[in-house]
Structure 1
Protein backbone atom coordinates (compact mmCIF):
# COMPACT_ATOMS: atom_id res chain seq x y z
CA UNK A 1 0.00 0.00 0.00
CA UNK A 2 1.19 3.50 -0.82
CA UNK A 3 2.70 5.35 2.14
CA UNK A 4 1.69 9.01 2.04
CA UNK A 5 4.02 10.14 4.84
CA UNK A 6 6.16 13.18 4.12
CA UNK A 7 6.13 16.35 2.06
CA UNK A 8 4.36 16.08 -1.31
CA UNK A 9 4.62 18.73 -4.01
CA UNK A 10 1.45 19.61 -5.98
CA UNK A 11 3.31 20.58 -9.11
CA UNK A 12 2.75 23.82 -10.97
CA UNK A 13 2.48 23.58 -14.75
CA UNK A 14 5.05 25.85 -16.48
CA UNK A 15 3.99 27.70 -19.62
CA UNK A 16 5.91 29.46 -22.36
CA UNK A 17 3.99 31.53 -24.86
CA UNK A 18 0.73 29.83 -23.93
CA UNK A 19 2.04 26.29 -24.34
CA UNK A 20 3.06 23.83 -21.65
CA UNK A 21 6.81 24.25 -21.11
CA UNK A 22 7.85 20.62 -20.86
CA UNK A 23 11.62 21.26 -20.57
CA UNK A 24 10.99 23.61 -17.63
CA UNK A 25 8.68 21.04 -16.04
CA UNK A 26 11.31 18.33 -16.33
CA UNK A 27 13.94 20.64 -14.78
CA UNK A 28 11.60 21.51 -11.94
CA UNK A 29 10.78 17.88 -11.18
CA UNK A 30 14.46 16.89 -11.23
CA UNK A 31 15.35 19.81 -8.95
CA UNK A 32 12.59 19.06 -6.43
CA UNK A 33 13.56 15.37 -6.34
CA UNK A 34 16.81 16.31 -4.57
CA UNK A 35 14.94 18.00 -1.71
CA UNK A 36 13.90 14.92 0.26
CA UNK A 37 10.25 15.10 -0.77
CA UNK A 38 7.89 12.13 -0.58
CA UNK A 39 6.35 12.47 -4.04
CA UNK A 40 4.43 14.59 -6.52
CA UNK A 41 0.82 15.46 -7.26
CA UNK A 42 0.24 16.05 -10.98
CA UNK A 43 -2.68 18.02 -12.40
CA UNK A 44 -4.09 19.21 -9.13
CA UNK A 45 -5.48 22.69 -8.57
CA UNK A 46 -1.94 24.08 -8.22
CA UNK A 47 -1.19 22.64 -11.65
CA UNK A 48 -4.02 24.65 -13.28
CA UNK A 49 -5.43 21.29 -14.36
CA UNK A 50 -8.87 22.70 -15.10
CA UNK A 51 -7.26 24.84 -17.81
CA UNK A 52 -5.35 21.98 -19.47
CA UNK A 53 -6.66 19.80 -22.28
CA UNK A 54 -6.56 16.05 -21.87
CA UNK A 55 -3.62 15.92 -24.29
CA UNK A 56 -1.74 18.52 -22.23
CA UNK A 57 -2.43 16.63 -19.02
CA UNK A 58 -0.97 13.52 -20.62
CA UNK A 59 2.13 15.45 -21.73
CA UNK A 60 2.57 16.83 -18.21
CA UNK A 61 2.24 13.40 -16.63
CA UNK A 62 4.69 11.82 -19.06
CA UNK A 63 7.26 14.53 -18.38
CA UNK A 64 6.94 14.07 -14.62
CA UNK A 65 7.16 10.28 -14.87
CA UNK A 66 10.38 10.63 -16.87
CA UNK A 67 12.11 12.77 -14.21
CA UNK A 68 10.58 11.65 -10.91
CA UNK A 69 13.68 9.73 -9.77
CA UNK A 70 11.59 6.84 -8.50
CA UNK A 71 9.31 9.01 -6.37
CA UNK A 72 5.58 8.19 -6.37
CA UNK A 73 3.07 10.26 -8.32
CA UNK A 74 -0.56 10.98 -7.48
CA UNK A 75 -2.73 12.06 -10.40
CA UNK A 76 -5.41 14.65 -9.78
CA UNK A 77 -8.77 13.55 -11.15
CA UNK A 78 -11.84 15.76 -10.80
CA UNK A 79 -15.31 16.19 -12.25
CA UNK A 80 -19.02 16.15 -11.57
CA UNK A 81 -20.42 13.03 -13.24
CA UNK A 82 -19.34 9.88 -11.38
CA UNK A 83 -19.11 7.65 -14.47
CA UNK A 84 -16.97 10.19 -16.33
CA UNK A 85 -14.61 10.58 -13.38
CA UNK A 86 -14.37 6.78 -13.08
CA UNK A 87 -13.48 6.43 -16.76
CA UNK A 88 -10.84 9.13 -16.47
CA UNK A 89 -9.37 7.49 -13.39
CA UNK A 90 -9.12 4.13 -15.17
CA UNK A 91 -7.43 5.82 -18.11
CA UNK A 92 -4.72 7.40 -15.93
CA UNK A 93 -4.24 4.13 -14.03
CA UNK A 94 -2.58 2.75 -17.16
CA UNK A 95 0.11 5.47 -17.11
CA UNK A 96 2.18 4.26 -14.17
CA UNK A 97 0.88 6.54 -11.41
CA UNK A 98 0.75 5.27 -7.85
CA UNK A 99 -2.65 6.68 -6.87
CA UNK A 100 -5.22 9.42 -7.31
CA UNK A 101 -6.15 12.64 -5.54
CA UNK A 102 -9.89 13.17 -5.97
CA UNK A 103 -12.21 15.92 -4.67
CA UNK A 104 -15.98 15.55 -4.26
CA UNK A 105 -18.11 16.20 -7.34
CA UNK A 106 -17.57 19.74 -8.57
CA UNK A 107 -20.31 22.38 -8.61
CA UNK A 108 -23.30 20.08 -7.98
CA UNK A 109 -23.06 20.14 -4.14
CA UNK A 110 -24.35 16.62 -3.39
CA UNK A 111 -25.52 15.51 0.07
CA UNK A 112 -23.06 13.55 2.17
CA UNK A 113 -24.70 10.26 1.17
CA UNK A 114 -23.99 11.22 -2.44
CA UNK A 115 -20.37 11.97 -1.54
CA UNK A 116 -20.07 8.48 -0.05
CA UNK A 117 -21.63 6.93 -3.16
CA UNK A 118 -19.28 8.92 -5.42
CA UNK A 119 -16.06 7.91 -3.69
CA UNK A 120 -17.17 4.34 -3.07
CA UNK A 121 -17.88 3.87 -6.78
CA UNK A 122 -14.48 5.26 -7.71
CA UNK A 123 -12.63 3.19 -5.13
CA UNK A 124 -14.47 0.04 -6.19
CA UNK A 125 -13.35 0.62 -9.77
CA UNK A 126 -9.81 1.82 -9.07
CA UNK A 127 -6.85 -0.56 -9.13
CA UNK A 128 -4.85 2.04 -7.18
CA UNK A 129 -5.17 3.94 -3.88
CA UNK A 130 -7.53 6.91 -3.73
CA UNK A 131 -6.76 9.97 -1.61
CA UNK A 132 -9.75 12.11 -0.66
CA UNK A 133 -9.35 15.84 -1.33
CA UNK A 134 -11.47 17.91 1.04
CA UNK A 135 -11.40 21.35 -0.60
CA UNK A 136 -14.81 23.02 -0.08
CA UNK A 137 -13.53 26.42 -1.22
CA UNK A 138 -13.24 24.98 -4.74
CA UNK A 139 -15.94 22.30 -4.83
CA UNK A 140 -18.67 23.80 -2.63
CA UNK A 141 -18.91 20.52 -0.71
CA UNK A 142 -17.18 19.41 2.48
CA UNK A 143 -16.22 15.84 3.19
CA UNK A 144 -17.66 15.84 6.69
CA UNK A 145 -16.04 13.89 9.51
CA UNK A 146 -18.64 11.10 9.53
CA UNK A 147 -18.37 10.78 5.76
CA UNK A 148 -14.58 10.49 5.85
CA UNK A 149 -14.80 7.91 8.63
CA UNK A 150 -17.30 5.87 6.62
CA UNK A 151 -15.09 6.01 3.52
CA UNK A 152 -12.04 4.99 5.56
CA UNK A 153 -13.49 1.48 5.70
CA UNK A 154 -12.76 1.04 1.98
CA UNK A 155 -9.45 -0.73 1.43
CA UNK A 156 -8.39 1.54 -1.43
CA UNK A 157 -9.26 4.86 0.24
CA UNK A 158 -6.04 5.48 2.10
CA UNK A 159 -5.64 9.18 2.79
CA UNK A 160 -7.10 12.67 2.98
CA UNK A 161 -5.74 15.99 1.79
CA UNK A 162 -7.25 18.24 4.43
CA UNK A 163 -8.36 21.72 3.38
CA UNK A 164 -11.58 21.50 5.40
CA UNK A 165 -10.60 24.09 7.99
CA UNK A 166 -11.87 22.24 11.08
CA UNK A 167 -9.14 21.35 13.58
CA UNK A 168 -11.47 19.06 15.56
CA UNK A 169 -12.28 17.02 12.47
CA UNK A 170 -8.60 16.85 11.54
CA UNK A 171 -7.72 15.53 14.99
CA UNK A 172 -10.57 13.01 14.97
CA UNK A 173 -9.47 11.57 11.62
CA UNK A 174 -5.85 11.39 12.74
CA UNK A 175 -6.89 9.67 15.98
CA UNK A 176 -9.04 7.17 14.07
CA UNK A 177 -5.87 6.09 12.29
CA UNK A 178 -7.28 4.52 9.15
CA UNK A 179 -6.59 7.48 6.84
CA UNK A 180 -3.23 9.16 6.47
CA UNK A 181 -4.09 12.83 6.95
CA UNK A 182 -2.08 15.38 4.96
CA UNK A 183 -2.22 19.12 5.56
CA UNK A 184 -3.60 20.78 2.45
CA UNK A 185 -3.82 24.34 3.75
CA UNK A 186 -0.16 25.25 4.12
CA UNK A 187 -0.78 27.51 7.10
CA UNK A 188 -1.91 24.37 8.99
CA UNK A 189 1.18 22.26 8.27
CA UNK A 190 2.72 22.76 11.71
CA UNK A 191 -0.54 22.12 13.57
CA UNK A 192 -1.37 19.03 11.52
CA UNK A 193 2.07 17.52 12.03
CA UNK A 194 1.95 18.25 15.77
CA UNK A 195 -1.45 16.55 15.90
CA UNK A 196 0.02 13.41 14.35
CA UNK A 197 -0.69 13.99 10.67
CA UNK A 198 1.30 12.04 8.11
CA UNK A 199 2.60 15.04 6.18
CA UNK A 200 1.50 17.70 3.73
CA UNK A 201 0.68 18.46 0.11
CA UNK A 202 2.18 21.92 0.01
CA UNK A 203 2.30 24.41 -2.84
CA UNK A 204 4.65 26.60 -0.77
CA UNK A 205 7.11 23.69 -0.56
CA UNK A 206 8.07 24.34 -4.19
CA UNK A 207 10.49 26.85 -2.65
CA UNK A 208 13.33 25.08 -0.79
CA UNK A 209 11.39 21.87 -0.04
CA UNK A 210 14.19 20.61 2.16
CA UNK A 211 13.19 23.21 4.77
CA UNK A 212 9.68 21.72 4.91
CA UNK A 213 11.17 18.24 5.12
CA UNK A 214 13.43 19.41 7.96
CA UNK A 215 10.43 20.81 9.83
CA UNK A 216 8.70 17.43 9.77
CA UNK A 217 11.89 15.64 10.80
CA UNK A 218 12.37 17.97 13.76
CA UNK A 219 8.84 17.33 14.95
CA UNK A 220 9.21 13.58 14.55
CA UNK A 221 12.41 13.77 16.60
CA UNK A 222 10.63 15.74 19.32
CA UNK A 223 12.75 18.85 18.83
CA UNK A 224 9.88 21.28 19.27
CA UNK A 225 11.99 24.42 19.90
CA UNK A 226 13.92 23.96 16.65
CA UNK A 227 10.72 23.18 14.75
CA UNK A 228 9.05 26.31 16.12
CA UNK A 229 11.96 28.47 15.02
CA UNK A 230 11.92 26.99 11.54
CA UNK A 231 8.15 27.33 11.28
CA UNK A 232 8.33 31.00 12.25
CA UNK A 233 10.93 31.51 9.52
CA UNK A 234 8.70 29.78 6.95
CA UNK A 235 5.49 31.61 7.85
CA UNK A 236 6.19 34.86 5.93
CA UNK A 237 6.67 32.87 2.73
CA UNK A 238 3.60 30.72 3.38
CA UNK A 239 1.56 33.88 3.93
CA UNK A 240 2.87 35.37 0.67
CA UNK A 241 2.29 32.10 -1.20
CA UNK A 242 -1.47 32.53 -0.70
CA UNK A 243 -1.76 36.32 -0.61
CA UNK A 244 -3.04 36.10 -4.19
CA UNK A 245 -4.65 33.12 -5.95
CA UNK A 246 -2.54 29.96 -6.08
CA UNK A 247 -0.40 29.10 -8.05
CA UNK A 248 0.61 32.63 -9.07
CA UNK A 249 2.83 33.26 -6.01
CA UNK A 250 4.55 29.88 -6.32
CA UNK A 251 5.28 30.55 -9.98
CA UNK A 252 6.65 33.99 -9.11
CA UNK A 253 9.03 32.41 -6.61
CA UNK A 254 10.14 29.72 -9.03
CA UNK A 255 10.65 32.31 -11.76
CA UNK A 256 12.80 34.34 -9.36
CA UNK A 257 14.98 31.22 -9.03
CA UNK A 258 15.19 30.87 -12.81
CA UNK A 259 13.32 27.56 -12.90
CA UNK A 260 10.45 28.63 -15.16
CA UNK A 261 8.73 31.61 -16.75
CA UNK A 262 6.30 33.60 -14.67
CA UNK A 263 3.34 32.72 -16.86
CA UNK A 264 -0.13 31.44 -16.06
CA UNK A 265 -3.04 30.46 -18.26
CA UNK A 266 -6.02 32.84 -18.48
CA UNK A 267 -8.08 33.66 -16.52
CA UNK A 268 -5.25 33.22 -14.02
CA UNK A 269 -2.76 36.09 -13.87
CA UNK A 270 0.73 36.66 -12.44
CA UNK A 271 0.99 38.30 -9.02
CA UNK A 272 0.87 42.04 -8.54
CA UNK A 273 4.07 44.08 -8.67
CA UNK A 274 3.97 44.64 -4.91
CA UNK A 275 3.65 40.93 -4.14
CA UNK A 276 6.34 40.12 -6.73
CA UNK A 277 8.78 42.39 -4.89
CA UNK A 278 7.84 40.83 -1.56
CA UNK A 279 8.30 37.32 -2.93
CA UNK A 280 11.71 38.10 -4.37
CA UNK A 281 12.88 39.22 -0.93
CA UNK A 282 11.49 36.04 0.65
CA UNK A 283 13.20 33.87 -1.97
CA UNK A 284 16.49 35.45 -0.92
CA UNK A 285 15.70 35.05 2.79
CA UNK A 286 14.81 31.36 2.49
CA UNK A 287 17.84 30.79 0.27
CA UNK A 288 20.08 32.03 3.06
CA UNK A 289 18.21 29.91 5.60
CA UNK A 290 18.57 26.81 3.43
CA UNK A 291 22.25 27.48 2.86
CA UNK A 292 22.85 27.85 6.60
CA UNK A 293 21.61 24.31 7.10
Structure 2
Protein backbone atom coordinates (compact mmCIF):
# COMPACT_ATOMS: atom_id res chain seq x y z
CA UNK A 1 0.00 0.00 0.00
CA UNK A 2 1.38 3.41 -0.94
CA UNK A 3 2.08 6.20 1.55
CA UNK A 4 -0.77 8.24 0.04
CA UNK A 5 -3.14 5.29 0.56
CA UNK A 6 -2.00 4.94 4.16
CA UNK A 7 -2.64 8.62 4.74
CA UNK A 8 -6.10 8.31 3.17
CA UNK A 9 -7.05 5.36 5.37
CA UNK A 10 -5.78 7.11 8.50
CA UNK A 11 -7.94 10.15 7.68
CA UNK A 12 -10.97 7.92 7.21
CA UNK A 13 -10.37 6.30 10.58
CA UNK A 14 -10.19 9.63 12.35
CA UNK A 15 -13.62 10.70 11.08
CA UNK A 16 -15.36 7.35 10.83
CA UNK A 17 -18.01 5.57 12.80
CA UNK A 18 -16.25 2.56 14.29
CA UNK A 19 -19.20 0.72 15.83
CA UNK A 20 -21.94 -0.61 13.54
CA UNK A 21 -23.57 -2.84 16.13
CA UNK A 22 -27.30 -2.64 16.72
CA UNK A 23 -30.56 -2.91 14.82
CA UNK A 24 -30.39 -1.25 11.41
CA UNK A 25 -33.44 -1.05 9.17
CA UNK A 26 -33.06 -1.97 5.50
CA UNK A 27 -35.23 0.93 4.38
CA UNK A 28 -37.89 0.61 1.67
CA UNK A 29 -38.23 3.22 -1.08
CA UNK A 30 -41.83 4.55 -1.28
CA UNK A 31 -43.26 5.33 -4.70
CA UNK A 32 -46.09 7.62 -5.78
CA UNK A 33 -49.10 6.57 -7.83
CA UNK A 34 -48.87 7.04 -11.56
CA UNK A 35 -47.24 5.45 -14.60
CA UNK A 36 -43.76 6.71 -13.76
CA UNK A 37 -43.93 5.57 -10.11
CA UNK A 38 -41.76 8.46 -8.96
CA UNK A 39 -40.03 8.23 -5.59
CA UNK A 40 -42.30 9.58 -2.85
CA UNK A 41 -39.72 11.68 -1.01
CA UNK A 42 -42.11 13.08 1.66
CA UNK A 43 -43.23 9.56 2.59
CA UNK A 44 -39.60 8.42 2.63
CA UNK A 45 -38.61 11.20 5.01
CA UNK A 46 -41.61 10.64 7.28
CA UNK A 47 -40.85 6.93 7.54
CA UNK A 48 -37.13 7.50 8.11
CA UNK A 49 -37.82 10.06 10.84
CA UNK A 50 -40.33 7.74 12.51
CA UNK A 51 -37.90 4.82 12.65
CA UNK A 52 -35.09 6.94 14.08
CA UNK A 53 -37.43 8.37 16.74
CA UNK A 54 -38.40 4.82 17.65
CA UNK A 55 -34.78 4.11 18.50
CA UNK A 56 -33.30 2.02 15.69
CA UNK A 57 -29.54 2.29 15.33
CA UNK A 58 -29.77 3.56 11.79
CA UNK A 59 -31.02 3.07 8.25
CA UNK A 60 -29.58 1.36 5.18
CA UNK A 61 -30.91 3.08 2.07
CA UNK A 62 -30.88 1.81 -1.50
CA UNK A 63 -30.33 -1.82 -0.65
CA UNK A 64 -32.31 -4.74 -2.06
CA UNK A 65 -35.28 -3.89 0.20
CA UNK A 66 -35.08 -0.34 -1.16
CA UNK A 67 -35.46 -1.65 -4.74
CA UNK A 68 -32.17 0.01 -5.65
CA UNK A 69 -31.82 -2.09 -8.80
CA UNK A 70 -34.95 -0.38 -10.13
CA UNK A 71 -33.66 3.12 -9.36
CA UNK A 72 -31.47 5.26 -11.58
CA UNK A 73 -28.21 6.61 -10.19
CA UNK A 74 -29.85 10.02 -9.92
CA UNK A 75 -32.80 8.59 -8.01
CA UNK A 76 -30.52 6.71 -5.64
CA UNK A 77 -28.73 9.93 -4.75
CA UNK A 78 -32.09 11.70 -4.34
CA UNK A 79 -33.14 9.00 -1.87
CA UNK A 80 -29.86 9.36 -0.01
CA UNK A 81 -30.04 13.16 0.12
CA UNK A 82 -33.68 13.11 1.25
CA UNK A 83 -32.79 10.68 4.04
CA UNK A 84 -29.77 12.72 5.13
CA UNK A 85 -32.00 15.79 5.35
CA UNK A 86 -33.92 14.22 8.25
CA UNK A 87 -31.52 11.62 9.73
CA UNK A 88 -28.05 12.25 11.22
CA UNK A 89 -25.31 11.16 8.85
CA UNK A 90 -23.80 8.69 11.34
CA UNK A 91 -27.10 6.76 11.21
CA UNK A 92 -27.20 6.33 7.42
CA UNK A 93 -25.52 3.60 5.37
CA UNK A 94 -25.77 3.70 1.57
CA UNK A 95 -26.14 0.60 -0.57
CA UNK A 96 -23.81 0.15 -3.54
CA UNK A 97 -24.08 -2.62 -6.14
CA UNK A 98 -23.02 -3.12 -9.73
CA UNK A 99 -20.92 -5.17 -12.11
CA UNK A 100 -19.01 -2.43 -13.93
CA UNK A 101 -15.96 -1.40 -11.90
CA UNK A 102 -15.73 2.09 -13.33
CA UNK A 103 -19.41 2.88 -12.81
CA UNK A 104 -19.34 1.52 -9.26
CA UNK A 105 -16.32 3.68 -8.41
CA UNK A 106 -18.04 6.69 -9.98
CA UNK A 107 -21.10 6.18 -7.78
CA UNK A 108 -18.85 5.59 -4.77
CA UNK A 109 -17.20 8.96 -5.37
CA UNK A 110 -20.61 10.65 -5.51
CA UNK A 111 -21.62 8.99 -2.25
CA UNK A 112 -18.31 10.01 -0.70
CA UNK A 113 -19.16 13.65 -1.31
CA UNK A 114 -21.91 13.25 1.28
CA UNK A 115 -21.44 12.45 4.95
CA UNK A 116 -22.65 8.93 5.59
CA UNK A 117 -21.71 6.27 8.12
CA UNK A 118 -20.61 3.82 5.45
CA UNK A 119 -21.39 1.99 2.21
CA UNK A 120 -22.87 -1.51 2.03
CA UNK A 121 -21.38 -3.24 -1.00
CA UNK A 122 -22.28 -6.53 -2.71
CA UNK A 123 -19.93 -8.51 -4.91
CA UNK A 124 -20.48 -7.91 -8.63
CA UNK A 125 -23.72 -9.60 -9.59
CA UNK A 126 -24.38 -11.83 -12.64
CA UNK A 127 -20.75 -12.14 -13.78
CA UNK A 128 -19.88 -14.50 -10.90
CA UNK A 129 -16.20 -13.58 -10.38
CA UNK A 130 -13.66 -15.89 -8.78
CA UNK A 131 -12.62 -15.39 -5.17
CA UNK A 132 -9.53 -13.59 -6.46
CA UNK A 133 -11.83 -11.34 -8.49
CA UNK A 134 -13.91 -10.60 -5.40
CA UNK A 135 -10.77 -9.71 -3.44
CA UNK A 136 -9.65 -7.35 -6.20
CA UNK A 137 -13.10 -5.74 -6.45
CA UNK A 138 -13.43 -5.01 -2.76
CA UNK A 139 -9.81 -3.92 -2.41
CA UNK A 140 -10.35 -1.31 -5.13
CA UNK A 141 -13.51 -0.09 -3.41
CA UNK A 142 -11.99 -0.02 0.07
CA UNK A 143 -8.98 1.94 -1.19
CA UNK A 144 -11.16 4.46 -3.02
CA UNK A 145 -13.88 4.91 -0.42
CA UNK A 146 -13.95 8.01 1.77
CA UNK A 147 -16.22 6.16 4.22
CA UNK A 148 -16.10 2.74 5.88
CA UNK A 149 -17.09 -0.27 3.77
CA UNK A 150 -19.51 -2.98 4.89
CA UNK A 151 -19.47 -6.23 2.94
CA UNK A 152 -22.80 -7.70 1.82
CA UNK A 153 -22.59 -11.42 1.18
CA UNK A 154 -25.87 -12.43 -0.46
CA UNK A 155 -25.18 -15.24 -2.94
CA UNK A 156 -28.82 -15.86 -3.85
CA UNK A 157 -28.97 -12.36 -5.36
CA UNK A 158 -25.45 -11.96 -6.74
CA UNK A 159 -24.82 -15.53 -7.94
CA UNK A 160 -21.50 -15.78 -6.09
CA UNK A 161 -20.60 -16.68 -2.51
CA UNK A 162 -17.84 -14.91 -0.62
CA UNK A 163 -15.95 -17.83 0.90
CA UNK A 164 -14.58 -17.69 4.44
CA UNK A 165 -10.89 -17.21 3.50
CA UNK A 166 -11.92 -14.35 1.22
CA UNK A 167 -13.93 -12.71 3.98
CA UNK A 168 -11.09 -13.18 6.47
CA UNK A 169 -8.61 -11.54 4.11
CA UNK A 170 -10.95 -8.62 3.41
CA UNK A 171 -11.60 -8.19 7.14
CA UNK A 172 -7.94 -7.29 7.60
CA UNK A 173 -8.34 -4.17 5.46
CA UNK A 174 -8.58 -1.11 7.73
CA UNK A 175 -11.46 0.40 5.74
CA UNK A 176 -13.63 -2.76 5.75
CA UNK A 177 -15.43 -2.79 9.07
CA UNK A 178 -18.52 -5.02 9.04
CA UNK A 179 -20.51 -7.57 7.06
CA UNK A 180 -24.20 -8.03 6.36
CA UNK A 181 -24.23 -11.80 6.50
CA UNK A 182 -26.69 -13.61 4.22
CA UNK A 183 -24.28 -16.39 3.32
CA UNK A 184 -26.19 -19.16 5.09
CA UNK A 185 -23.06 -20.73 6.60
CA UNK A 186 -23.21 -20.75 10.40
CA UNK A 187 -19.65 -22.04 10.74
CA UNK A 188 -18.32 -19.15 8.66
CA UNK A 189 -20.42 -16.71 10.68
CA UNK A 190 -19.06 -18.00 13.96
CA UNK A 191 -15.47 -18.02 12.68
CA UNK A 192 -15.73 -14.37 11.63
CA UNK A 193 -17.13 -13.49 15.05
CA UNK A 194 -14.38 -15.47 16.77
CA UNK A 195 -11.67 -13.82 14.65
CA UNK A 196 -12.87 -10.42 15.84
CA UNK A 197 -11.59 -8.51 12.79
CA UNK A 198 -15.00 -7.46 11.50
CA UNK A 199 -18.45 -6.85 12.98
CA UNK A 200 -21.01 -9.44 11.87
CA UNK A 201 -24.60 -8.31 11.36
CA UNK A 202 -27.17 -10.75 10.08
CA UNK A 203 -29.14 -9.85 7.00
CA UNK A 204 -31.43 -12.84 7.41
CA UNK A 205 -34.16 -11.61 9.74
CA UNK A 206 -35.01 -15.05 11.14
CA UNK A 207 -31.36 -15.57 12.13
CA UNK A 208 -31.22 -12.52 14.41
CA UNK A 209 -31.60 -14.46 17.66
CA UNK A 210 -28.97 -17.08 16.82
CA UNK A 211 -26.52 -14.51 15.44
CA UNK A 212 -26.78 -12.37 18.56
CA UNK A 213 -26.44 -15.39 20.84
CA UNK A 214 -23.16 -16.46 19.23
CA UNK A 215 -21.75 -12.94 19.55
CA UNK A 216 -22.89 -11.13 16.41
CA UNK A 217 -23.11 -7.35 16.47
CA UNK A 218 -26.73 -7.00 15.34
CA UNK A 219 -28.74 -7.05 12.15
CA UNK A 220 -29.68 -5.13 9.02
CA UNK A 221 -33.31 -6.11 8.79
CA UNK A 222 -36.34 -5.42 6.61
CA UNK A 223 -38.72 -6.73 9.29
CA UNK A 224 -37.63 -4.08 11.78
CA UNK A 225 -39.83 -1.56 9.98
CA UNK A 226 -42.64 -3.20 11.96
CA UNK A 227 -42.49 -3.02 15.77
CA UNK A 228 -38.83 -1.93 15.92
CA UNK A 229 -39.27 -1.66 19.69
CA UNK A 230 -39.44 -5.46 19.92
CA UNK A 231 -36.30 -5.96 17.84
CA UNK A 232 -34.47 -3.47 20.04
CA UNK A 233 -35.75 -5.14 23.19
CA UNK A 234 -34.70 -8.54 21.87
CA UNK A 235 -31.12 -7.40 21.42
CA UNK A 236 -31.04 -5.62 24.78
CA UNK A 237 -32.25 -8.75 26.57
CA UNK A 238 -29.61 -10.92 24.91
CA UNK A 239 -26.88 -8.44 25.84
CA UNK A 240 -28.18 -8.52 29.41
CA UNK A 241 -28.13 -12.33 29.43
CA UNK A 242 -31.92 -12.60 29.71
CA UNK A 243 -32.13 -15.34 27.09
CA UNK A 244 -35.46 -16.82 28.17
CA UNK A 245 -37.23 -13.47 27.82
CA UNK A 246 -35.43 -12.76 24.56
CA UNK A 247 -36.50 -16.15 23.20
CA UNK A 248 -40.15 -15.37 23.96
CA UNK A 249 -39.96 -12.15 21.96
CA UNK A 250 -38.13 -13.84 19.11
CA UNK A 251 -40.75 -16.55 18.71
CA UNK A 252 -43.49 -13.94 18.80
CA UNK A 253 -41.66 -12.02 16.04
CA UNK A 254 -40.84 -15.07 13.94
CA UNK A 255 -44.28 -15.40 12.27
CA UNK A 256 -44.03 -11.74 11.27
CA UNK A 257 -40.59 -12.28 9.75
CA UNK A 258 -41.83 -15.33 7.87
CA UNK A 259 -44.97 -13.60 6.59
CA UNK A 260 -42.94 -10.63 5.35
CA UNK A 261 -41.03 -12.98 3.05
CA UNK A 262 -43.93 -15.11 1.81
CA UNK A 263 -43.60 -13.21 -1.46
CA UNK A 264 -40.58 -11.38 -2.92
CA UNK A 265 -39.33 -8.63 -0.63
CA UNK A 266 -40.39 -5.82 -0.25
CA UNK A 267 -43.92 -6.46 -1.56
CA UNK A 268 -45.36 -7.83 1.73
CA UNK A 269 -43.51 -5.19 3.75
CA UNK A 270 -44.95 -2.41 1.60
CA UNK A 271 -48.42 -3.91 2.06
CA UNK A 272 -47.93 -3.83 5.84
CA UNK A 273 -46.69 -0.24 5.85
CA UNK A 274 -49.47 0.86 3.49
CA UNK A 275 -52.06 -0.72 5.77
CA UNK A 276 -50.63 1.42 8.58
CA UNK A 277 -51.00 4.53 6.43
CA UNK A 278 -47.27 5.19 6.18
CA UNK A 279 -46.78 4.76 2.43
CA UNK A 280 -48.59 3.82 -0.75
CA UNK A 281 -48.29 0.18 -1.71
CA UNK A 282 -46.59 0.85 -5.07
CA UNK A 283 -43.54 -1.06 -6.32
CA UNK A 284 -41.43 -0.65 -9.44
CA UNK A 285 -42.17 -3.16 -12.21
CA UNK A 286 -41.44 -5.99 -12.64
CA UNK A 287 -42.03 -6.21 -8.88
CA UNK A 288 -45.71 -6.74 -8.10
CA UNK A 289 -47.82 -5.87 -5.07
CA UNK A 290 -48.43 -8.61 -2.53
CA UNK A 291 -51.53 -10.71 -3.06
CA UNK A 292 -54.61 -10.14 -0.93
CA UNK A 293 -54.09 -13.52 0.77
CA UNK A 294 -50.53 -12.63 1.81
CA UNK A 295 -51.62 -9.17 2.94
CA UNK A 296 -54.47 -10.55 5.07
CA UNK A 297 -52.19 -13.14 6.67
CA UNK A 298 -49.60 -10.47 7.40
CA UNK A 299 -52.11 -8.12 9.00
CA UNK A 300 -53.41 -10.91 11.23
CA UNK A 301 -49.83 -11.68 12.25
CA UNK A 302 -49.18 -8.03 13.08
CA UNK A 303 -52.32 -7.86 15.25
CA UNK A 304 -51.11 -10.84 17.29
CA UNK A 305 -47.98 -8.90 18.31
CA UNK A 306 -50.11 -6.66 20.56
CA UNK A 307 -49.43 -6.50 23.42
CA UNK A 308 -46.12 -7.94 24.60
CA UNK A 309 -45.06 -7.02 28.11
TM-score range, shorter chain: over 0.9
Q: Distance in 1 between matches of 2:82 and 2:264?
A: 25
Pick from 42, 45, 60 the counterpart of residue 23 of structure 1.
Answer: 42
Deviations 1:112-145 (A, max 9, x none): 0110010001101111100000000000011111
| Contact preservation (8 Å) 1:131, 1:157 | yes
Name the counterpart of 1:60. Answer: 79
Q: Distance in 2 between matches of 1:175 and 1:206?
A: 30
Name the counterpart of 1:90. Answer: 109
Name the counterpart of 1:187. Answer: 206
**Tell me, what secondary structure is at the counterpart of 1:253?**
helix
Name the counterpart of 2:270. Answer: 251
Pick from 133, 137, 148 the counterpart of residue 118 of structure 1.
Answer: 137
Name the counterpart of 1:275. Answer: 294
Q: Distance in 1 between matches of 2:208 and 2:55?
A: 17
Name the counterpart of 1:166. Answer: 185
* CA pair 71-214 structure 1, distance change in 2 beyond 3 A: farther
**Tell me, what secondary structure is at the counterpart of 1:46?**
coil
| Contact preservation (8 Å) 2:73, 2:107 | no
Q: Structure 1 stretch 63-72 or stretch 245-254: which is displaced more?
A: 63-72
Deviations 1:154-186 (A, max 9, x none): 000000000000100000001000110000011
Whether 1:5 aligns to 2:21 is: yes
**Tell me, what secondary structure is at the counterpart of 2:85?**
helix
**Tell me, what secondary structure is at the counterpart of 1:161?**
strand
Q: What displacement does 1:152 show? A: 0.8
Deviations 1:67-101 (A, max 9, x none): 11565211111111222211211111112212100
| Contact preservation (8 Å) 1:78, 1:105 | yes
Name the counterpart of 1:50. Answer: 69
- Runs (4+) off by over 3 Å: none
Q: What displacement does 1:285 show? A: 2.2
* CA pair 98-70 structure 1, distance change in 2 beyond 3 A: closer
Deviations 1:32-70 (A, max 9, x none): 012221111110000000101122112211111111156
Superposition RMSD in Å:
1.1
Gaps of 5+ in 2: 1-15
Q: Distance in 1 between matches of 2:117 and 2:22?
A: 15
Q: Distance in 2 between matches of 1:151 and 1:69?
A: 28
Q: What displacement does 1:277 show? A: 0.3
How many pairs are equivalent? 290
Q: What displacement does 1:282 show? A: 1.9
Name the counterpart of 1:135. Answer: 154
| Contact preservation (8 Å) 2:89, 2:117 | no
Name the counterpart of 2:248. Answer: 229
Whether 1:196 aligns to 2:196 is: no
Q: What displacement does 1:283 show? A: 2.3
Q: What displacement does 1:256 show? A: 1.3
TM-score for the superposition, normalised by structure 1:
0.97
